[in-house]
Amino acid sequence: MTTSVERPSATHMNKTRPPVSSQGKIQINVKRTILLLAKHGGLFALARILTARKTRILAYHGIWLGEGHFGNFLYMSAEKFAARMALLDKWQYPVISLSEVVNGNKNKPRCATAITIDDGWYGTWSAMLPVLERHNYPATVYLTTYYCLNQQPVIDVALQYCFHVIDAKRVRALHLPLYNLEPMFTDTDQARKKALAAALNISASLDDDAARQKFLQALCAEIGINHAQLMAGRWFHLMAPEEVKDAAKRGITFESHTHHHRIDHHATDCLAEEISINREHINSLAGRIPQHFCYPSGRFSSALWPILEMGHMASATTTDIGLVDDKTPKYALPRILDGHDVSELELEAEMSGFMELSRRLLRIGKR
């Protein structure tokens, strides 16, 4: 397997799906038609047989707890997650632990599947954990510990939400003189994108998280978002320390996702330090030293592997899509990213291995 290039962002951004254009809707319909023909033509069943010795690693993030819906790969509804877990049983994909995926066990069941959940959102504890318990599914949570201990909204995600729900008819332009945010229009997608970028830059320039949280509160007031409701519902909070302890007792395995959800800071590499701090906190909270790692926002390159080796990491997962076999580098494990906007048919195509074989054929065709 070739090594992926490093991703451009170390934040929680880029996990939401933009509005679909008319051309995009046509492409979605064409893809759906092709997948339906493949499924009913027996190609899903054939692909499952051909890829039975490969392991599926599912990737989830959080559960959306607010009004309406926000996010795609970042947040899923509680109902959809419960339905997904039921599908694994219906489709007969045996769920195993992440450790069993990477320990070289030749006796793994056919089409073995591992469940991984990134970040450690509050909704993972309140909504996902009870579902996993009902099915007796082992699961790995890659915990980023700063906001777990800090218990404040994850700032970049909360800011993104603000611009996702902004009503351009009521707030045609934003103006926060206290933060030197000059009047910025919000009446088009491009304008909102530009305003969000400005807000993120302001947030990054502030001295500490307390100042950033005050900025979020001011922005909510300007836009008309109920900040108190956002806080009370813990829409953008990670698990609290006592919830991590509880989840660990109930069978969740906590692994490393760095302390601040980053691998560099101010253009300086800090992965080794981030892993060290993260490891100490997870050991204190969950009573175990993390042995597996997940790259924040999928940013990875082979240049990082010696750091993971020195940190005694047994594996590292990415956001690349694919299945895992014995030839997959242990620090470049692909996963199947499930999201709120991913259809059941699309997930079935990935789980069966049909999409994996299709991508392989496409690569061969290009060569």
Give the pLDDT of residue 10.
38
User: CB of 286 within 8 A of CB of 243?
Assistant: no
Please indicate, yes or no, whether residues 47 and 97 belong to a single structural domain of this protein. Answer: yes
Give the pLDDT of residue 36.
97
In a domain, 2, yes or no: no
In a domain, 56, yes or no: yes
In a domain, 284, yes or no: yes
* Helix (H/G/I), strand (E/B), else coil: 183: strand
Give the pLDDT of residue 18.
56
User: CB of 331 within 8 A of CB of 29?
Assistant: no
In a domain, 13, yes or no: no
Please indicate, yes or no, whether residues 73 and 209 belong to a single structural domain of this protein. Answer: no
Q: Within a 13 Å sphere around the CA of 30, how many CA atoms are in the beta-carbon half?
A: 6
Q: Express each pLDDT in 20-65 by its tens digit.
A: 567 778 888 899 999 999 999 999 999 999 999 999 999 999 999 9
As to burial, measured by CB atoms within 10 angstroms (0-12 exposed, 13-18 middle, 19+ buried), residue 120 is buried
In a domain, 348, yes or no: yes
CA 221 to CA 2: how far, in whole Å? 48
Per-residue HEC secondary structure of 81-135 comes to HHHHHHHHHHHCCCECCHHHHHCCCCCCCCCCEEEEEEECEHHHHHHHHHHHHHH
Please indicate, yes or no, whether residues 138 and 257 belong to a single structural domain of this protein. Answer: yes
- CATH number, domain at 267? 3.20.20.370
Please indicate, yes or no, whether residues 223 and 326 belong to a single structural domain of this protein. Answer: no
In a domain, 3, yes or no: no
In a domain, 6, yes or no: no
User: CB of 153 within 8 A of CB of 236?
Assistant: yes
Where does a domain end: 232, 257, 279? 232
Query: How many residues does this entry show for the chain?
Result: 367
Please indicate, yes or no, whether residues 219 and 249 belong to a single structural domain of this protein. Answer: no
Please indicate, yes or no, whether residues 295 and 271 belong to a single structural domain of this protein. Answer: yes
Q: Express each pLDDT in 69-92 by its tens digit.
A: 999 999 999 999 999 999 999 999
Please indicate, yes or no, whether residues 58 and 127 belong to a single structural domain of this protein. Answer: yes
Q: Express each pLDDT in 309-338 by its tens digit.
A: 999 999 999 999 999 999 999 999 999 999
CA–CA–CA angle 285, 287, 293 (5° rounding)? 80
Of all residues in the chain, the percent with pLDDT exceeding 70 is: 94
Is the dihedral angle over the CA atoms 63, 68, 71, 73 positive or is it negative?
A: positive
Domain region containing 354: 22-151+241-366
User: CB of 149 within 8 A of CB of 243?
Assistant: no
In terms of phi and psi (left: phi > 0; alpha: psi -120 to 50; beta: otherwise), the region of 322 is: left
DSSP helix, strand, coil percent of the chain (3-state; round to 5) = 50, 15, 35
Please indicate, yes or no, whether residues 266 and 360 belong to a single structural domain of this protein. Answer: yes
Give the pLDDT of residue 21.
67
Please indicate, yes or no, whether residues 45 and 115 belong to a single structural domain of this protein. Answer: yes
User: CB of 97 within 8 A of CB of 159?
Assistant: no
In a domain, 112, yes or no: yes
Give the pLDDT of residue 356.
97
Where does a domain end: 199, 232, 265? 232
As to burial, measured by CB atoms within 10 angstroms (0-12 exposed, 13-18 middle, 19+ buried), residue 5 is exposed
Give the pLDDT of residue 17.
53
Please indicate, yes or no, whether residues 204 and 300 belong to a single structural domain of this protein. Answer: no
Of all residues in the chain, the percent with pLDDT exceeding 90 is: 82
Where does a domain end: 232, 250, 285? 232
Please indicate, yes or no, whether residues 78 and 221 belong to a single structural domain of this protein. Answer: no
Please give the tally of structural domains in the chain.
2
Please indicate, yes or no, whether residues 48 and 86 belong to a single structural domain of this protein. Answer: yes
